[in-house]
Structure 1
């Protein structure tokens, strides 16, 4: 076809169907903290100061 029109070999979608929520998940085979019976919210409340200290790090 030499009429000056470009005909792509594959169709490109401008909006692909994305089913992921953007979070990477790696199956380590280990149960999560919730599956182990640990109350994560309670842990965060009790260790809030330590968590904030570790987040800040040494700047």
Structure 2
């Protein structure tokens, strides 16, 4: 498998919290995790994140 195929496979199998709050547009599951991962991947691509570890701080 190519890296793109592997990435797509992993994104489609993410565990997302179900709930009545979410609409049919999100298949009644929370969209936070996929959006967070896409944002982090974008920051890595733009060399904003250069370390394999992301430190969670209050800043």
Choose between structure 1 and 2 for higher RCO, CA contacts under 8 A separated by at least 6 residues. Answer: 2
Q: TM-score range by the shorter chain?
A: under 0.3
TM-score by length of 1: 0.22
- The higher radius of gyration belongs to 1
